[in-house]
Amino acid sequence: MFCSAIRNILRNSQNAVITSQIRNLRGQQSAHHEVEVLTSAGITHKQNNKKTEPAESEGSKEVALDFRNREAHVPSFNLAAYVNNSSTLQQFISLGVDLHSIERRKGLGDFVLKLDFEKNVKPYITFLVDQGVSPDDFGRMFTKNPLLFKEDLDDLQTRVEYLKSKRFSDEARQRILTQNPYWLMFSTRRVDRRLGYFQKEFRLSGHDLRLLATREPNAITYNMEHLRKSVFTLKEEMGFNAKELSALVVRKPRLLMIPPDDLVERFSYIHQDMGLPHAQIVQCPELLASREFRLRERHEFLKLLGRAQYDPQKDLYISPKTIVEGNNFYFVRNVAKSELETFDLFLKTR
Protein backbone atom coordinates (compact mmCIF):
# COMPACT_ATOMS: atom_id res chain seq x y z
CA MET A 1 0.00 0.00 0.00
CA PHE A 2 2.57 2.48 1.20
CA CYS A 3 4.96 1.68 -1.65
CA SER A 4 2.31 2.14 -4.29
CA ALA A 5 1.33 5.47 -2.77
CA ILE A 6 4.91 6.67 -3.00
CA ARG A 7 5.13 5.43 -6.54
CA ASN A 8 2.01 7.41 -7.41
CA ILE A 9 3.46 10.54 -5.92
CA LEU A 10 6.68 10.05 -7.83
CA ARG A 11 4.83 9.50 -11.05
CA ASN A 12 2.78 12.61 -10.49
CA SER A 13 5.80 14.74 -9.83
CA GLN A 14 7.46 13.40 -12.97
CA ASN A 15 4.39 14.20 -15.01
CA ALA A 16 4.31 17.68 -13.62
CA VAL A 17 7.84 18.24 -14.85
CA ILE A 18 6.96 16.94 -18.27
CA THR A 19 3.82 18.96 -18.64
CA SER A 20 5.68 22.08 -17.70
CA GLN A 21 8.31 21.11 -20.26
CA ILE A 22 5.65 20.86 -22.91
CA ARG A 23 4.10 24.11 -21.92
CA ASN A 24 7.56 25.53 -22.30
CA LEU A 25 7.65 24.23 -25.86
CA ARG A 26 4.56 26.22 -26.77
CA GLY A 27 6.87 29.12 -26.13
CA GLN A 28 4.51 31.55 -24.43
CA GLN A 29 6.30 31.60 -21.09
CA SER A 30 8.31 34.24 -19.39
CA ALA A 31 12.06 33.89 -19.22
CA HIS A 32 11.93 33.38 -15.48
CA HIS A 33 9.76 30.35 -15.85
CA GLU A 34 11.93 28.93 -18.58
CA VAL A 35 14.99 28.84 -16.39
CA GLU A 36 13.09 27.12 -13.67
CA VAL A 37 11.78 24.45 -16.00
CA LEU A 38 15.07 23.75 -17.65
CA THR A 39 16.86 23.20 -14.38
CA SER A 40 14.23 20.80 -13.21
CA ALA A 41 14.51 18.93 -16.52
CA GLY A 42 18.26 18.66 -15.94
CA ILE A 43 17.68 17.06 -12.58
CA THR A 44 15.45 14.37 -13.98
CA HIS A 45 18.05 13.77 -16.62
CA LYS A 46 20.69 13.09 -14.03
CA GLN A 47 18.47 10.71 -12.15
CA ASN A 48 17.84 8.81 -15.32
CA ASN A 49 21.54 8.63 -16.01
CA LYS A 50 22.13 6.82 -12.77
CA LYS A 51 19.37 4.35 -13.40
CA THR A 52 20.39 3.44 -16.93
CA GLU A 53 24.12 3.44 -16.67
CA PRO A 54 24.80 -0.22 -17.48
CA ALA A 55 22.46 -0.32 -20.46
CA GLU A 56 23.73 3.00 -21.71
CA SER A 57 27.39 2.02 -21.72
CA GLU A 58 26.58 -0.92 -23.99
CA GLY A 59 24.46 1.18 -26.29
CA SER A 60 26.98 3.97 -26.60
CA LYS A 61 29.46 1.70 -28.34
CA GLU A 62 27.02 0.86 -31.09
CA VAL A 63 25.19 4.12 -31.75
CA ALA A 64 27.24 6.97 -30.48
CA LEU A 65 24.98 9.74 -31.71
CA ASP A 66 21.58 8.53 -30.74
CA PHE A 67 20.39 9.07 -27.23
CA ARG A 68 16.96 7.65 -27.54
CA ASN A 69 17.85 4.73 -25.26
CA ARG A 70 18.31 7.17 -22.51
CA GLU A 71 15.45 9.41 -23.57
CA ALA A 72 13.08 6.48 -23.73
CA HIS A 73 12.80 6.62 -19.96
CA VAL A 74 11.32 10.10 -20.03
CA PRO A 75 7.75 9.80 -21.21
CA SER A 76 6.52 12.63 -23.36
CA PHE A 77 3.36 13.62 -25.14
CA ASN A 78 5.06 14.75 -28.30
CA LEU A 79 8.05 14.22 -30.54
CA ALA A 80 9.32 17.75 -29.99
CA ALA A 81 10.77 16.69 -26.64
CA TYR A 82 13.20 14.32 -28.39
CA VAL A 83 14.16 16.50 -31.33
CA ASN A 84 17.22 18.08 -29.75
CA ASN A 85 18.78 14.72 -29.03
CA SER A 86 17.80 12.61 -32.02
CA SER A 87 19.63 13.05 -35.29
CA THR A 88 16.91 11.12 -37.15
CA LEU A 89 14.25 13.59 -36.11
CA GLN A 90 16.55 16.47 -36.98
CA GLN A 91 17.05 15.02 -40.44
CA PHE A 92 13.30 14.71 -40.78
CA ILE A 93 12.89 18.36 -39.90
CA SER A 94 15.46 19.39 -42.46
CA LEU A 95 13.50 17.32 -45.02
CA GLY A 96 10.40 19.28 -44.06
CA VAL A 97 8.48 16.48 -42.35
CA ASP A 98 5.78 17.80 -40.05
CA LEU A 99 6.44 15.86 -36.84
CA HIS A 100 3.53 17.57 -35.17
CA SER A 101 0.97 16.05 -37.49
CA ILE A 102 2.65 12.64 -37.35
CA GLU A 103 2.47 12.39 -33.58
CA ARG A 104 -1.24 13.14 -33.57
CA ARG A 105 -1.95 9.84 -35.29
CA LYS A 106 -1.97 6.79 -33.11
CA GLY A 107 1.24 4.75 -32.92
CA LEU A 108 3.08 6.74 -35.55
CA GLY A 109 5.02 8.81 -33.03
CA ASP A 110 6.50 5.67 -31.49
CA PHE A 111 7.32 4.29 -34.89
CA VAL A 112 9.10 7.41 -36.10
CA LEU A 113 11.11 7.67 -32.90
CA LYS A 114 12.51 4.18 -33.35
CA LEU A 115 13.76 4.83 -36.88
CA ASP A 116 17.46 5.17 -37.60
CA PHE A 117 18.11 7.62 -40.40
CA GLU A 118 21.07 5.83 -41.98
CA LYS A 119 19.55 2.39 -41.78
CA ASN A 120 15.79 2.86 -42.15
CA VAL A 121 15.32 6.08 -44.06
CA LYS A 122 18.20 6.68 -46.42
CA PRO A 123 17.60 3.61 -48.65
CA TYR A 124 14.00 4.73 -49.17
CA ILE A 125 15.04 8.21 -50.10
CA THR A 126 17.52 6.91 -52.67
CA PHE A 127 14.78 4.61 -53.97
CA LEU A 128 12.35 7.51 -54.35
CA VAL A 129 15.00 9.66 -56.02
CA ASP A 130 15.57 6.82 -58.49
CA GLN A 131 11.85 6.92 -59.28
CA GLY A 132 12.18 10.60 -60.13
CA VAL A 133 10.40 12.02 -57.09
CA SER A 134 11.51 15.58 -56.47
CA PRO A 135 13.22 16.20 -53.10
CA ASP A 136 10.82 19.06 -52.43
CA ASP A 137 7.97 16.60 -52.03
CA PHE A 138 9.66 14.34 -49.48
CA GLY A 139 8.44 16.36 -46.53
CA ARG A 140 4.80 16.19 -47.57
CA MET A 141 5.04 12.51 -48.51
CA PHE A 142 6.64 11.35 -45.27
CA THR A 143 4.27 13.49 -43.25
CA LYS A 144 1.34 11.79 -44.88
CA ASN A 145 2.69 8.29 -44.75
CA PRO A 146 5.64 7.59 -42.47
CA LEU A 147 4.75 3.90 -42.53
CA LEU A 148 6.43 3.71 -45.93
CA PHE A 149 9.64 2.93 -44.04
CA LYS A 150 8.06 -0.23 -42.77
CA GLU A 151 7.67 -1.72 -46.24
CA ASP A 152 10.32 -3.94 -47.76
CA LEU A 153 12.43 -2.23 -50.43
CA ASP A 154 12.11 -5.21 -52.76
CA ASP A 155 8.34 -5.00 -52.47
CA LEU A 156 8.41 -1.33 -53.39
CA GLN A 157 10.58 -2.15 -56.39
CA THR A 158 8.10 -4.84 -57.45
CA ARG A 159 5.20 -2.37 -57.15
CA VAL A 160 7.00 0.14 -59.31
CA GLU A 161 7.84 -2.61 -61.81
CA TYR A 162 4.14 -3.48 -61.89
CA LEU A 163 3.30 0.08 -62.87
CA LYS A 164 5.98 -0.07 -65.53
CA SER A 165 4.54 -3.32 -66.87
CA LYS A 166 1.15 -1.60 -67.12
CA ARG A 167 2.88 0.94 -69.35
CA PHE A 168 2.58 3.94 -67.07
CA SER A 169 4.99 6.56 -68.38
CA ASP A 170 7.84 7.96 -66.27
CA GLU A 171 5.97 11.18 -65.57
CA ALA A 172 2.81 9.29 -64.70
CA ARG A 173 4.62 7.09 -62.18
CA GLN A 174 6.34 10.08 -60.69
CA ARG A 175 3.03 11.88 -60.32
CA ILE A 176 1.34 8.85 -58.79
CA LEU A 177 4.07 8.39 -56.18
CA THR A 178 4.13 12.07 -55.30
CA GLN A 179 0.40 12.70 -55.21
CA ASN A 180 -0.52 9.54 -53.36
CA PRO A 181 2.12 8.45 -50.82
CA TYR A 182 -0.13 5.53 -49.86
CA TRP A 183 0.00 3.94 -53.31
CA LEU A 184 3.21 2.05 -52.57
CA MET A 185 1.66 0.51 -49.46
CA PHE A 186 -0.77 -1.47 -51.60
CA SER A 187 0.38 -4.88 -52.79
CA THR A 188 0.51 -5.43 -56.53
CA ARG A 189 -2.37 -7.87 -56.26
CA ARG A 190 -4.52 -5.29 -54.53
CA VAL A 191 -3.65 -2.48 -56.94
CA ASP A 192 -4.32 -4.85 -59.82
CA ARG A 193 -7.74 -5.68 -58.38
CA ARG A 194 -8.52 -1.99 -57.93
CA LEU A 195 -7.47 -1.07 -61.47
CA GLY A 196 -9.48 -4.03 -62.74
CA TYR A 197 -12.53 -2.79 -60.85
CA PHE A 198 -12.25 0.66 -62.40
CA GLN A 199 -11.70 -0.72 -65.87
CA LYS A 200 -14.68 -3.06 -65.64
CA GLU A 201 -17.03 -0.66 -63.86
CA PHE A 202 -16.56 2.22 -66.27
CA ARG A 203 -15.55 0.14 -69.33
CA LEU A 204 -12.37 2.10 -69.79
CA SER A 205 -9.70 1.52 -72.38
CA GLY A 206 -6.14 1.04 -71.15
CA HIS A 207 -5.27 4.58 -72.08
CA ASP A 208 -8.25 6.07 -70.24
CA LEU A 209 -7.54 3.99 -67.15
CA ARG A 210 -3.96 5.24 -67.06
CA LEU A 211 -5.24 8.77 -67.52
CA LEU A 212 -7.65 8.37 -64.62
CA ALA A 213 -5.03 6.85 -62.32
CA THR A 214 -2.57 9.59 -63.14
CA ARG A 215 -5.06 12.43 -62.78
CA GLU A 216 -6.26 11.36 -59.38
CA PRO A 217 -4.04 8.62 -57.90
CA ASN A 218 -5.94 8.92 -54.62
CA ALA A 219 -9.13 7.63 -56.25
CA ILE A 220 -7.55 4.23 -56.90
CA THR A 221 -6.59 3.63 -53.28
CA TYR A 222 -9.73 5.23 -51.85
CA ASN A 223 -12.13 3.47 -49.51
CA MET A 224 -13.80 0.80 -51.65
CA GLU A 225 -17.18 1.08 -49.97
CA HIS A 226 -17.23 4.82 -50.57
CA LEU A 227 -16.30 4.31 -54.21
CA ARG A 228 -19.14 1.81 -54.69
CA LYS A 229 -21.57 4.24 -53.08
CA SER A 230 -20.43 7.09 -55.33
CA VAL A 231 -20.75 4.96 -58.44
CA PHE A 232 -24.26 3.95 -57.36
CA THR A 233 -25.19 7.59 -56.81
CA LEU A 234 -23.87 8.67 -60.18
CA LYS A 235 -25.44 5.78 -62.03
CA GLU A 236 -28.78 5.13 -60.33
CA GLU A 237 -29.69 8.32 -58.49
CA MET A 238 -28.53 10.80 -61.10
CA GLY A 239 -29.14 8.55 -64.08
CA PHE A 240 -25.95 8.91 -66.07
CA ASN A 241 -25.65 6.08 -68.59
CA ALA A 242 -22.52 3.96 -68.91
CA LYS A 243 -20.96 6.08 -71.63
CA GLU A 244 -21.59 9.38 -69.86
CA LEU A 245 -20.35 7.92 -66.60
CA SER A 246 -17.01 6.84 -68.02
CA ALA A 247 -16.52 10.25 -69.67
CA LEU A 248 -17.39 11.98 -66.41
CA VAL A 249 -15.07 9.86 -64.32
CA VAL A 250 -12.10 10.17 -66.64
CA ARG A 251 -12.51 13.94 -66.84
CA LYS A 252 -13.02 14.49 -63.12
CA PRO A 253 -12.02 11.43 -61.06
CA ARG A 254 -12.35 13.55 -57.92
CA LEU A 255 -16.14 13.18 -58.15
CA LEU A 256 -15.74 9.64 -56.85
CA MET A 257 -14.24 10.90 -53.62
CA ILE A 258 -16.91 13.53 -52.86
CA PRO A 259 -19.53 12.47 -50.29
CA PRO A 260 -22.52 11.15 -52.29
CA ASP A 261 -25.03 13.32 -50.41
CA ASP A 262 -23.24 16.51 -51.46
CA LEU A 263 -23.02 15.22 -55.00
CA VAL A 264 -26.77 14.62 -55.21
CA GLU A 265 -27.47 18.08 -53.77
CA ARG A 266 -25.27 19.74 -56.38
CA PHE A 267 -26.66 17.64 -59.17
CA SER A 268 -30.26 18.41 -58.30
CA TYR A 269 -29.48 22.13 -58.28
CA ILE A 270 -27.66 21.98 -61.63
CA HIS A 271 -30.24 19.76 -63.28
CA GLN A 272 -33.45 21.16 -61.87
CA ASP A 273 -32.81 24.82 -61.07
CA MET A 274 -30.22 25.65 -63.69
CA GLY A 275 -31.89 23.32 -66.16
CA LEU A 276 -28.80 21.73 -67.64
CA PRO A 277 -29.26 18.32 -69.32
CA HIS A 278 -27.01 15.33 -68.58
CA ALA A 279 -25.06 15.78 -71.80
CA GLN A 280 -24.05 19.30 -70.85
CA ILE A 281 -23.05 18.26 -67.32
CA VAL A 282 -20.77 15.61 -68.80
CA GLN A 283 -19.22 18.34 -70.94
CA CYS A 284 -18.20 20.32 -67.86
CA PRO A 285 -17.84 18.07 -64.81
CA GLU A 286 -16.32 21.03 -62.92
CA LEU A 287 -19.90 22.02 -62.10
CA LEU A 288 -20.34 18.89 -59.98
CA ALA A 289 -17.01 19.48 -58.27
CA SER A 290 -17.99 22.97 -57.12
CA ARG A 291 -19.79 23.55 -53.85
CA GLU A 292 -23.52 24.09 -54.00
CA PHE A 293 -23.63 27.56 -52.42
CA ARG A 294 -21.11 28.80 -54.98
CA LEU A 295 -23.22 27.55 -57.86
CA ARG A 296 -26.36 28.99 -56.30
CA GLU A 297 -24.85 32.46 -55.69
CA ARG A 298 -23.46 32.78 -59.16
CA HIS A 299 -26.39 31.32 -61.03
CA GLU A 300 -28.89 33.51 -59.20
CA PHE A 301 -26.77 36.59 -59.82
CA LEU A 302 -26.67 35.81 -63.52
CA LYS A 303 -30.42 35.23 -63.46
CA LEU A 304 -30.93 38.62 -61.82
CA LEU A 305 -28.88 40.26 -64.56
CA GLY A 306 -30.80 38.27 -67.15
CA ARG A 307 -27.67 36.57 -68.39
CA ALA A 308 -28.30 33.00 -67.26
CA GLN A 309 -28.45 31.58 -70.76
CA TYR A 310 -26.76 28.20 -71.06
CA ASP A 311 -28.07 27.11 -74.47
CA PRO A 312 -25.25 27.29 -77.04
CA GLN A 313 -27.78 27.52 -79.88
CA LYS A 314 -29.03 30.93 -78.74
CA ASP A 315 -27.53 34.39 -78.35
CA LEU A 316 -25.64 35.59 -75.26
CA TYR A 317 -24.51 32.08 -74.42
CA ILE A 318 -22.59 31.67 -71.19
CA SER A 319 -20.61 28.48 -70.92
CA PRO A 320 -21.46 26.67 -67.65
CA LYS A 321 -17.77 25.93 -67.26
CA THR A 322 -16.95 29.61 -66.81
CA ILE A 323 -19.44 29.94 -63.95
CA VAL A 324 -17.35 27.95 -61.54
CA GLU A 325 -13.98 29.27 -62.71
CA GLY A 326 -11.90 31.67 -60.70
CA ASN A 327 -12.68 33.75 -57.65
CA ASN A 328 -15.66 36.03 -57.22
CA PHE A 329 -13.84 39.03 -58.63
CA TYR A 330 -12.91 37.17 -61.81
CA PHE A 331 -16.46 35.86 -62.15
CA VAL A 332 -18.13 39.22 -61.66
CA ARG A 333 -15.85 41.07 -64.06
CA ASN A 334 -15.41 38.53 -66.84
CA VAL A 335 -18.50 36.35 -66.79
CA ALA A 336 -21.25 38.48 -65.29
CA LYS A 337 -19.68 41.70 -66.67
CA SER A 338 -20.74 43.61 -63.60
CA GLU A 339 -19.22 45.27 -60.53
CA LEU A 340 -18.12 43.59 -57.33
CA GLU A 341 -20.16 46.08 -55.28
CA THR A 342 -23.30 45.00 -57.11
CA PHE A 343 -22.50 41.38 -56.40
CA ASP A 344 -21.91 42.14 -52.71
CA LEU A 345 -25.22 43.98 -52.47
CA PHE A 346 -26.92 41.07 -54.17
CA LEU A 347 -25.38 38.58 -51.74
CA LYS A 348 -26.63 40.65 -48.83
CA THR A 349 -30.20 40.16 -49.98
CA ARG A 350 -29.89 36.38 -49.87
Partner 1 sequence: MALTKVYDAATVFKHMNGILNVYKPAGMKVKHVRNAILSNICKGLNEMEQRKPRKLQENIRLLGTGTAADHVLHNIGEQTDLSDHLLSTGPRYLPRDLICTTVSSLGDHTSGVLLFGINRGAGQSTSIRKNRPVRVYHLIGHLGIATENNIPDSRVTMRSNHRHVSADRISSLAASMQASHQRKMFELCGVDLQTQEAYELACRGLLRPADDSQPVVYGIKLIHFDRPHFTLELHAINETQEYLATLVHDMALDLRTVAHCSQLRCVRHAHFDVTDSLLRHAWHLPGIIKNLRQQRDILRAHPQLLRQQRVELQATE
Binding residues for partner 1, per CB under 8 A?
25-27, 38, 64-65, 67, 78-85, 87, 89-93, 96-101, 293, 327-328, 344, 347-350
Rounded to the nearest whole angstrom, what is the least distance from the CB of residue 236 to partner 1 in the complex? 24
Give the 3-state secondary structure of residue 214. helix
Rounded to the nearest whole angstrom, what is the least distance from the CB of residue 287 to partner 1 in the complex? 19
Supply φ then ψ for residue 248, to 5 degrees: -60, -45
CB of 74 closer than 8 Å to CB of 44: yes
Residue 20 vs 199, nearer CB to partner 1: 20
Residue 146 vs 217, nearer CB to partner 1: 146
Rounded to the nearest whole angstrom, what is the least distance from the CB of residue 191 to partner 1 in the complex? 31
Residue 313 vs 327, nearer CB to partner 1: 327
Residue 293 vs 317, nearer CB to partner 1: 293
Residue 14 vs 91, nearer CB to partner 1: 91
Quote the DSSP letter at residue 91. H
Supply φ then ψ for residue 166, to 5 degrees: -85, 15
Residue 80 vs 211, nearer CB to partner 1: 80
Rounded to the nearest whole angstrom, what is the least distance from the CB of residue 293 to partner 1 in the complex? 7
Rounded to the nearest whole angstrom, what is the least distance from the CB of residue 106 to partner 1 in the complex? 17
CB of 79 closer than 8 Å to CB of 102: yes
Longest CA–CA span in the chain (Å) reads 91
Judge residue 197's burial from the number of C-beta atoms within 10 Å of its C-beta, 0-12 exposed, 13-18 middle, 19 or more buried: middle
Total residue count of the chain as it appears in this document = 350
Q: Residue 39, Cα to own-chain centre: how many angstroms?
A: 40
Residue 121 vs 250, nearer CB to partner 1: 121
Residue 90's CB is within 10 A of a number of other CB atoms, namely 14
Rounded to the nearest whole angstrom, what is the least distance from the CB of residue 237 to partner 1 in the complex? 20
Whole-number Cα distances in Å, 17 to 45, 46, 79, 220, 322 = 11, 14, 16, 47, 59
Sign of CA dihedral 234, 240, 242, 245: negative
Rounded to the nearest whole angstrom, what is the least distance from the CB of residue 99 to partner 1 in the complex? 5
